Amino acid sequence: MTSIIFDKHGFDRIKAEISRAALVVTDSNIAGLYGDMCDGAFLIPCGEQGKSPETLLAILKEMHARGLRRNDCVVALGGGAVGDVTGLAAALYMRGINFSVVPTTLTAIVDSGLGGKTAVDFCGVKNLVGAFHEPVRMVVSLEFLKTMPDRDYIGGCGECIKTCLLTQNAYRLLRDRFDALIARETDGLSELIDACIAIKNTVATDDLKDRGVRRILNVGHTVGHALESVNGFKASHGEYVLMGLMTECAMFKEYIDRDFYAEIVEMCKRLVSPPRTSVKPVLSLASADKKNANGSITVMLPVSAGNILELRVDRDLFSARYERATAELRSGR
């Protein structure tokens, strides 16, 4: 399991982590904003552009050029993209060296920084090539959230909401702190973010290779992933998860506690609009989702706080419900 350290004192702990590293990988946005942490760091392209085989090879060459040994540690300083590609390089170099994560986005803090999924995009397919390789440490500071771009921050809120549906305690915290979350009042968010980190760390550690319980983290993802691909990744991943979550809940609301349903849809609608994508491409992509079995489409549905139902539905029902749900969500019914 990854050890988690909160840095509450002006980046002191993070600077110590960085000074011990044999190599720090970051992107140019982070280097521009947090230059004092990035002296001598290896810079990669920002965002999804950095999750390429070319970047992966460039990091591996840099590790070799700097003479990294098996007991050295690499630090990934950045969002999920920096973490994913750096983690994969660490998994491959000398058959695996240690890496630690200093997450600079909300998504990386509550989701991608933990769990050991590393990857690059390949042949136009997101995360096609990767490995399971857990970071030894994650050092967290909420200070980074203050400089995040709005869209990426909203996406991170989506990951937070998704995670908080998984336990009653986290859901209670989410309801209490939702306004602070969307207003980025970082002083009031420690407990909520702590709860998300604990859930992700526990679920991922129980099912490191994603073959069982980790499936509950796919709430909102069947429709969300399809929308993300159809729309060419224009919005952030977490924004598509929010659209997917409200749509999947509206599609199968007969299974969901009434008040819980209303709250989820309201929270999602405060952050994103209901999807306008037509059913045909969504159905085609949802049918190809890796969670599916026996020709049916799998949806992980939150039915009450802490209670996720795995639904398997046929294509005709999925289509009809998607069309009805998106129309209802758009008209506010």
Ligand X SMILES: NC(=O)c1ccc[n+]([C@@H]2O[C@H](COP(=O)([O-])OP(=O)(O)OC[C@H]3O[C@@H](n4cnc5c(N)ncnc54)[C@H](O)[C@@H]3O)[C@@H](O)[C@H]2O)c1
Q: Is 48 in the site for ligand X (CB under 6 A)?
A: yes
In this structure, what are the phi and psi dihedrals at residue 19, rounded to the nearest 5 degrees?
Answer: -70, -25
Residue from 51, 221, 225, 321 touching ligand X (CB under 6 A): that is 51
Is residue 100 a contact residue for ligand X (CB under 6 A)? no
Tokens of 40: 């001598």
State which of residues 20, 35, 61, 147 lies at the interface with ligand X (CB under 6 A): 147
Kindly give the pairing relationship between strand 23-27 and strand 73-78.
parallel
Return the range that interacts with ligand X (CB under 6 A); candidates 7-15, 28-36, 223-231, 250-258.
28-36
**Contact present, 197 and 110 (Cβ < 8 Å):** yes
Strand partners, 17: none
Work out whether 235 is an interface residue with ligand X (CB under 6 A).
no
DSSP string, 195-248: HHHHHHHHHHHHTTTSSSGGGGGGTTHHHHHHHHHHTTT-S-HHHHHHHHHHHH
Binding mask 55-84 for ligand X (x = CB under 6 A): -----------------------xxxxx-x
Q: How far is the CB of 282 from ligand X (least distance, A)?
A: 19
User: Least Å distance between CB 285 and ligand X?
Assistant: 16
Which string of x and - marks every residue 106-135 that binds ligand X (by CB under 6 A)? -xx--xx--x-x---------x--------
Phi first, then psi: what are they for 10, rounded to 5°? 55, 45
Closest C-alpha among 98, 142, 89 to residue 119: 89
Q: Which is closer to ligand X, CB of 182 or CB of 279? A: 182
With contacts defined by CB under 6 A, how many residues of the chain interact with ligand X? 31
